[in-house]
Structure 1
Amino acid sequence: MQVARRGICWRLFLFSCLLLESSCQDFGGQTQFICTSVPKDMDICAATLQNSVPGEDLKTTVMQLRETVLQQKETIMNQKETIRELTSKLARCESQSGAEPGDARPGGRRKDAGTKNTMGDVSRGPADTLTQLSQTLQSLKQRLENLEQFSRSNNSVQANSLKDLLQSKIDDLEKQVLSRVNSIEEGKPGLRNETEQRGRVESTLTSLHQRITDLEKGQRENRPLDKFQLTFPLRTNYMYAKVKKSLPEMYALTVCMWLKSNASPGVGTPFSYAVPGQANELVLIEWGNNPMEILINDKVAKLPFLINDGKWHHICVTWTTRDGVWEAFQDGVKRGSGENLAPYHPIKPQGLLILGQEQDTLGGGFDATQAFVGDLANFHIWDRKLSVGEIYNLATCSSKAQVGNVFAWMETSLDIYGGASKWTFEACRQLN
């Protein structure tokens, strides 16, 4: 009976050792199980009760350990399944983003939205592209009308011939644009060839620009360098003219010019002069529903001009740094005056004078909503205040009229950008 009891105790002891050892291995070997030797003649069960926890407590501990191990295994299996699902979803997302429709570039990346196209503006969607092409066509038409007027006044057979050819090309372009509009509205498969068709249209437009430029060059050869006008047919952020030299430091000034515009709302910015650290050193602007304003060192005076009627008008603004006194003249007549416009602040040198755009930074930061739309001519700047009589002579094309001693209107003094064009201009002919 004692032998049988001893055998049962040995089996129970060994079974407990195996269970505890398995549990310790499942926990990554962070714990150890220690077996204690007992004398040969000692009762194993008694030794177990003496050196370890009571039998019932040992059984309870073993069961708790097994249950903990099973829970840990189940948690690990669930986490592995979750990881597999997330990995599968990530692979599907990568495969879809790597091959977007209409994308032919390696790696599936689309072209940068800020890439410039050949027309000088920012590339956008099909609708914006068509709008831009339509505006360009209108610009070309306007230039052709000017050529037609020139040919009528000079009886030029060559001008008429080129005009007819250009008109035919523009008609073809209009048909292409109309076809593109219909394709977009009807959702035809032809949209897949958008890049190729756009390339053909822009190539044709480039050819037209070159032909018109050649014709304008022939026209320029027959006119004096100061008998010209600048035309800004569209409200863009890329059409402008840059004066080649900076203004000097000035304690007084007079700015005069001829303007023609019917743009709404506001004619835009005929000119802006920026210097390092001050983009609004000297600006003439009319935008939104605001009246025309002159800015000096970012200080503002509202001017009483009404010129957006599509007719030529002569305007002048005078200013002196002492007390910031200013005067405004339209068509030779004084329309308003004031003071305290940037008093005792001289116009700074080493800046950049731009015609047709308002500068937010030195030489850049153009905003299409503030661009000048219309015609500009005979732009002059003096470093003194002109008298009432001198301004009247300028507005009435008197032989006594002077040219600006700071900036005089000459073709060789300007660089033209973005498609703005130059045409023959005679101020006195406009008045007759």
Structure 2
Amino acid sequence: MDGLAWKVLLLLCLTAAGTWAQDLGQTQFICTSVPKDVDLCAASMQSSGPAEDLKSTVLQLRETVLQQKETIINQKETIRELTSKLTRCESQSFPAGPGGRRPGSKNTMGDLSRGTAETLAQLGHTLQTLKQRLENLEHYSRGNNTVQANSLKDLLQNKIDDMEKQVLSRVNTLEESKSGSRNDSEQRNRVESTLTSLHHRITDLEKGKDRPADKFQLTFPLRTNYMYAKAKRSLPEMYSLTVCLWIKSNASPGVGTPFSYAVPGQANELVLIEWGNNPMEFLINDKVAKLPFLINDGKWHHLCITWTTRDGMWEAFQDGVMRGNGENLAPYHPIKPEGVLVLGQEQDILGGGFDATQAFVGELANLNIWNRKLSITEIYNLATCNSKAPTGNVFSWTESSIEIFGGATKWSFEPCRSAN
């Protein structure tokens, strides 16, 4: 190799060494001779291959570290933002009620998870129902031309107007998310009291129409934990029973709880419930029988369930036809007395602890309970409105046997005529 080639090679090594030393710190370099006629740029690229790979790897690692650091910073910011939102939501949430057999949050003004707009629409539906009943009574009062009916009508109209203002105020408060638990409880109590007062006054007017005591239905238009009806008397001790009712609902998921009977120490002494996506269940002493009912179609259906404490035998009838039966449903456990029978809500404690997610949505009528097992013929007569059909001997469906709370409404009802 002549002197010119050595000088060029030395210059190449010194230049590379200076540059790489600046980037990589203390590094060992190897100079390699090349033929005279070879391109020096290509030779330098080939001779520096391992070092260039190392440099490229270091740069890639450095870029990866920077990207990960940026990602971590962004994630921390997201976590802080979500934590802040969660804290605000928790500070504005409603206090949970007492726990029960099934999970579910306690709502006060219906199912608030659906949004304030839908809540307003549902409550508006309730008010519209009351207004329609009031118009019917107004027409009736014209026919009778009584001063008392007109004065009551005016009073009811004022009450409904006040109720609409309260509902609008309530929804505005929800949207602004400024109501505390104490204010929420007070407003709920005012709304419930007003609805109950409206219902009682309308019922007083309707009594003047000479309607038969058992020809009525109860309507529960939305899921709440304050709309319900309650029997005025407890059930007696029973070693067998039959419970029958007319029911209409298209609620989803599940129609809720048509009735529940609680006794001291046992909230689920006697319950009919279709909760969430579960099939309809019949509970005795918290033991469960799954019923083969299909009723979530918006049509009237007649349901009957029989049970005897011996071996816990049960039978389920829909529209006069037996759909299923079983055994070992709370065998040798008598139904206890001194309890509370509630329509439209599932009790977590005696007479209360209602959960909006388990509330009944729809219409109920002709709930009757016997302390014996009815025959297939008797059940068929009930489902077909035969004149020979019996009435409940421990609970009968009459207006004087129940009290209504929270705005559940009452309408005239003819079982088989309404079902067709």
TM-score tier after normalising by the smaller chain length: 0.5 to 0.7
User: C-alpha separation between the residues in 1 aligned to 2:285 and 2:258?
Assistant: 17
What is the SS of the residue equivalent to 2:352? coil
User: C-alpha separation between the residues in 2 aligned to 1:209 and 1:156?
Assistant: 27
What is the one-letter code of the residue matched to 1:249? E
Listed as ranges, the gaps of 5+ residues in structure 2 are 1-90, 98-106, 180-185
Percent of aligned pairs with the same amino acid: 61
Judged with a 3 Å threshold, the aligned counterparts in structure 2 of structure 1 residues 151 and 399 are, in CA distance, closer, same or farther, namely farther
The equivalent residue for 2:360 is 372
TM-score, normalised to structure 1, is: 0.60
Shift of 1:141: 1.4
Q: State yes or no: 1:137 paired with 2:124.
A: yes
What is the one-letter code of the residue matched to 1:345? H
Determine which of 180, 188, 204 is the counterpart of 1:217: 204
User: C-alpha separation between the residues in 1 aligned to 2:168 and 2:138?
Assistant: 29
Judged with a 3 Å threshold, the aligned counterparts in structure 2 of structure 1 residues 206 and 241 are, in CA distance, closer, same or farther, namely closer
TM-score, normalised to structure 2, is: 0.62
User: C-alpha separation between the residues in 1 aligned to 2:394 and 2:195?
Assistant: 37
The equivalent residue for 1:348 is 336
Shift of 1:207: 7.5
Q: State yes or no: 1:236 paired with 2:236.
A: no
User: C-alpha separation between the residues in 1 aligned to 2:321 and 2:272?
Assistant: 19
Judged with a 3 Å threshold, the aligned counterparts in structure 2 of structure 1 residues 211 and 283 are, in CA distance, closer, same or farther, namely closer
Judged with a 3 Å threshold, the aligned counterparts in structure 2 of structure 1 residues 227 and 328 are, in CA distance, closer, same or farther, namely same
User: C-alpha separation between the residues in 1 aligned to 2:346 and 2:174?
Assistant: 38
Judged with a 3 Å threshold, the aligned counterparts in structure 2 of structure 1 residues 309 and 142 are, in CA distance, closer, same or farther, namely farther
Shift of 1:138: 1.6
Shift of 1:372: 0.6
Does the Cα contact within 8 Å between 1:390 and 1:401 map onto a contact in 2?
yes
Shift of 1:217: 2.3
Judged with a 3 Å threshold, the aligned counterparts in structure 2 of structure 1 residues 421 and 344 are, in CA distance, closer, same or farther, namely same
Determine which of 301, 304, 313 is the counterpart of 2:289: 301
Alignment of 1:327-366 (within 5 A): 327-366=315-354
User: C-alpha separation between the residues in 1 aligned to 2:419 and 2:360?
Assistant: 23
Judged with a 3 Å threshold, the aligned counterparts in structure 2 of structure 1 residues 144 and 285 are, in CA distance, closer, same or farther, namely same
Does the Cα contact within 8 Å between 1:272 and 1:353 map onto a contact in 2?
yes
Q: State yes or no: 1:283 paired with 2:271.
A: yes
User: C-alpha separation between the residues in 2 aligned to 1:115 and 1:300?
Assistant: 26
What is the SS of the residue equivalent to 1:335? strand
What is the one-letter code of the residue matched to 2:282? I
User: C-alpha separation between the residues in 1 aligned to 2:119 and 2:397?
Assistant: 31
User: C-alpha separation between the residues in 2 aligned to 1:124 and 1:334?
Assistant: 35
Does the Cα contact within 8 Å between 2:256 and 2:361 map onto a contact in 1?
yes
Does the Cα contact within 8 Å between 2:256 and 2:358 map onto a contact in 1?
yes
Shift of 1:232: 1.1
Q: State yes or no: 1:410 paired with 2:384.
A: no
Judged with a 3 Å threshold, the aligned counterparts in structure 2 of structure 1 residues 137 and 156 are, in CA distance, closer, same or farther, namely farther
What is the SS of the residue equivalent to 1:253? strand
What is the one-letter code of the residue matched to 1:419? G
Shift of 1:174: 8.8
Deviations 1:327-380 (A, max 9, x none): 101111111111111111111111111111111111111111001111111100
What is the one-letter code of the residue matched to 2:391? V
User: C-alpha separation between the residues in 2 aligned to 1:252 and 1:203?
Assistant: 42
Structure of greater relative contact order (alpha carbons < 8 Å, 6+ residues apart): 2
Judged with a 3 Å threshold, the aligned counterparts in structure 2 of structure 1 residues 347 and 253 are, in CA distance, closer, same or farther, namely same
Judged with a 3 Å threshold, the aligned counterparts in structure 2 of structure 1 residues 266 and 157 are, in CA distance, closer, same or farther, namely farther
What is the SS of the residue equivalent to 2:236? coil
Shift of 1:114: 5.9
User: C-alpha separation between the residues in 1 aligned to 2:166 and 2:391?
Assistant: 47
The equivalent residue for 2:253 is 265
Alignment of 1:25-424 (within 5 A): 121=108, 132-145=119-132, 173=164, 177=168, 213-221=200-208, 222-424=210-412
Count of matched residue positions in the alignment of Structure 1 and Structure 2: 310
Does the Cα contact within 8 Å between 2:321 and 2:380 map onto a contact in 1?
yes
Deviations 1:83-139 (A, max 9, x none): xxxxxxxxxxxxxxxxxxxxxxxxxxx9996699xxx947999x9777654432221
Does the Cα contact within 8 Å between 2:247 and 2:364 map onto a contact in 1?
yes
Judged with a 3 Å threshold, the aligned counterparts in structure 2 of structure 1 residues 229 and 151 are, in CA distance, closer, same or farther, namely farther
Does the Cα contact within 8 Å between 1:114 and 1:123 map onto a contact in 2?
no
Shift of 1:212: 6.3
Does the Cα contact within 8 Å between 1:216 and 1:423 map onto a contact in 2?
no
Listed as ranges, the gaps of 5+ residues in structure 1 are 1-109, 193-198
Larger Rg: 1
User: C-alpha separation between the residues in 1 aligned to 2:161 and 2:219?
Assistant: 19
Judged with a 3 Å threshold, the aligned counterparts in structure 2 of structure 1 residues 415 and 270 are, in CA distance, closer, same or farther, namely same
User: C-alpha separation between the residues in 2 aligned to 1:329 and 1:123?
Assistant: 32
What is the one-letter code of the residue matched to 1:334? M
